[in-house]
């Protein structure tokens, strides 16, 4: 590592002296963003999770549009929900000496080594959407995104209220997001905490559907086969709920009536199902992080200090509210 670093510094010194603005040190020099290209423009390397859901597609569009609007050169990669692909992408951004790296970590653990490499290369890192569990918080500048524990809690609180005064057992099945991801871990724990308030509520089955429609459908089919009495489905995102709705209908049951459904995100397709009464409640999670991310990138590249955690403002939707919001819903 040390050897490689000194070789890189030496290389950059040589290049700087011959080409004047093309070195490793210069690329991350706060006074000269874009120095590596010589155009003064900030270059951001963004390592996206994948394209697993409507939320993710909207998030990618928000980031790409905001980069264009902010005059930031964006290098974008899609990791197809695989941590090793994200690590490769981040390493390539480090090698390309971008000014700032942003990424949405697919899972929470296992980032220390690559984050340390970015820090050693003096490239600031911004976490967007999903968090990491690294103990060393100096490995990144800030986190921009939602509080997933609060989202899970909102879902559970709604359910407890919905069944208020009733003491019959309520059998819940849960479709978890990607195993090991911050939203899956936190939405699960927030929900579990909230339903403790109603001792008749029980999670009878809980499995990952990887945040996708196809997996949501497949796992719901298995839940339906194994459990004769399911009262409620809690899905960690709309896409899995939409897949599950197909499975429920194929089993001859009515989603939203025979089985109540709560999900998280509030993307257009989810809101449409909510307005149609097939989903009963949605907790919003905003994917529109692009503009804030670009502002933060400009600040950290300048060397300004930013808040360590910036939370997104979000609401919840009933079927009526979904109907009202749908005509203006952009994603
Ligand atoms: O809820 C889900 C997506 O990390 C908040 O990832 C995001 C989640 C979102 O696949 O739909």
Length reported for the chain: 331
pLDDT in tens, 183-197: 999 999 999 999 999
Instruction: Based on the fold, state whether residues 193 and 253 are members of the same structural domain.
Output: yes
Where does ligand 1 bind, in terms of residues with CB under 6 Å? 52-53, 55-56, 129-130, 183, 211, 237, 239, 264-265, 285
- Per-residue pLDDT, averaged over 25-51, amounts to 73
Going by CA atoms, what residue is nearest to atom 8 of ligand 1?
183
- Per-residue pLDDT, averaged over 305-320, amounts to 96
> In ligand 1, which atom is closest to the CA atom of 104?
4
More confident residue, 201 or 26: 201
Residue 4 included in any domain: no
Residue 325 included in any domain: no
Dihedral pair phi/psi, residue 177, rounded to 5°: -75, -170
- Name the least confident of 35-49, 52-66, 129-143: 35-49
Instruction: Based on the fold, state whether residues 190 and 137 are members of the same structural domain.
Output: no
Instruction: Based on the fold, state whether residues 196 and 165 are members of the same structural domain.
Output: yes
- Per-residue pLDDT, averaged over 241-258, amounts to 98
Instruction: Based on the fold, state whether residues 276 and 293 are members of the same structural domain.
Output: no
> In ligand 1, which atom is closest to the CA atom of 212?
10
What residue numbers bound the domain in which 23 lies? 14-146+286-313
> In ligand 1, which atom is closest to the CA atom of 264?
1
- 211 alpha carbon – ligand 1 mean position (Å): 7
Residue 161 included in any domain: yes
Among 52, 54, 177, which residue has the most ligand 1 atoms within 8 Å of its CB, making it the best to mutate?
177
Instruction: Based on the fold, state whether residues 239 and 135 are members of the same structural domain.
Output: no
- 6 alpha carbon – ligand 1 mean position (Å): 40
Instruction: Based on the fold, state whether residues 180 and 278 are members of the same structural domain.
Output: yes
Among 181, 183, 236, 239, which residue has the most ligand 1 atoms within 8 Å of its CB, making it the best to mutate?
183
Q: Which 8-state DSSP code applies to residue 53?
A: S
What angle do helix axes 268-275 and 238-250 make, rounded to 10 degrees? Answer: 50
Instruction: Based on the fold, state whether residues 198 and 309 are members of the same structural domain.
Output: no
Average pLDDT, the chain: 91
| CATH code: domain of residue 309 | 3.40.50.2300
Instruction: Based on the fold, state whether residues 110 and 183 are members of the same structural domain.
Output: no
The H or E element that residue 77 is part of is strand 73-78
Whether the predicted pLDDT of 239 surpasses 70: yes
Look at the chain and report how many structural domains it folds into. Answer: 2
Distances in Å between the alpha carbon of 57 and those of 246, 268, 318? 21, 12, 24
The H or E element that residue 119 is part of is helix 112-120
Instruction: Based on the fold, state whether residues 32 and 107 are members of the same structural domain.
Output: yes
Instruction: Based on the fold, state whether residues 182 and 102 are members of the same structural domain.
Output: no
Instruction: Based on the fold, state whether residues 68 and 125 are members of the same structural domain.
Output: yes
Which residue, 219, 320, 325, is CA-closest to 279? 320
pLDDT in tens, 210-231: 999 999 999 999 999 999 999 9
Q: What does the pLDDT read at residue 6?
A: 39
pLDDT band at 4 (very low <50, low <70, confident <90, very high): very low
> In ligand 1, which atom is closest to the CA atom of 287?
5
Instruction: Based on the fold, state whether residues 122 and 177 are members of the same structural domain.
Output: no
pLDDT in tens, 151-206: 999 999 999 999 999 999 999 999 999 999 999 999 999 999 999 999 999 999 99
Look at strands 281-284 and 316-317 and give their pairing: antiparallel
For residues 59 and 79, what is the distance between their CA atoms, to the nearest angstrom?
Answer: 14
pLDDT in tens, 80-95: 999 999 999 999 999 9
């Amino acid at each position: 590592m040390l050897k490689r670093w000194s070789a890189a510094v030496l290389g950059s010194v040589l290049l700087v002296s011959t080409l004047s603005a093309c070195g490793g040190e210069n690329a991350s020099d706060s006074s000269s963003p874009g120095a590596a290209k010589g155009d003064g423009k900030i270059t951001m390397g963004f390592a996206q999770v994948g394209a697993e859901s409507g939320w993710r597609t909207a998030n990618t569009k928000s980031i790409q549009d905001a980069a264009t609007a902010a005059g930031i050169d964006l290098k974008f990669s899609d990791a197809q929900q695989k941590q090793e692909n994200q690590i490769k992408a981040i390493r390539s951004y480090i090698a390309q000496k971008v000014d700032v790296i942003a990424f949405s970590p697919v899972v929470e653990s296992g980032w220390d080594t690559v984050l340390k490499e970015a820090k050693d290369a003096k490239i600031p890192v911004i976490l967007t959407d999903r968090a990491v569990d690294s103990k060393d918080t100096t490995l990144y500048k800030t986190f921009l995104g939602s509080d997933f524990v609060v989202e899970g809690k909102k879902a559970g609180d709604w359910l407890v209220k919905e069944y208020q005064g009733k003491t019959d057992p309520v059998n819940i099945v849960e479709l978890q997001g990607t195993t090991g991801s911050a939203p899956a871990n936190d939405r699960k724990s927030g929900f579990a905490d909230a339903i403790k308030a109603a001792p008749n509520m029980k999670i009878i089955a809980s499995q990952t559907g990887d945040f996708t429609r196809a997996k949501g459908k497949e796992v719901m089919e298995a839940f339906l086969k194994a459990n004769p009495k399911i009262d409620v489905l809690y899905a960690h995102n709309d896409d899995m709920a939409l897949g599950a709705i197909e499975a429920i209908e194929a089993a001859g049951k009515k989603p939203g009536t025979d089985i109540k459904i709560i999900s998280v995100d509030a993307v257009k397709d989810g809101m449409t199902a909510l307005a149609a009464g097939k989903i009963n409640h949605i907790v919003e999670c905003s994917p529109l992080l692009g503009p804030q991310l670009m502002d933060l990138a400009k600040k950290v590249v300048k060397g300004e200090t930013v808040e360590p955690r910036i939370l997104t403002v979000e609401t919840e939707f009933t079927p009526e509210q979904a109907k009202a919001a749908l005509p203006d819903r952009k994603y």
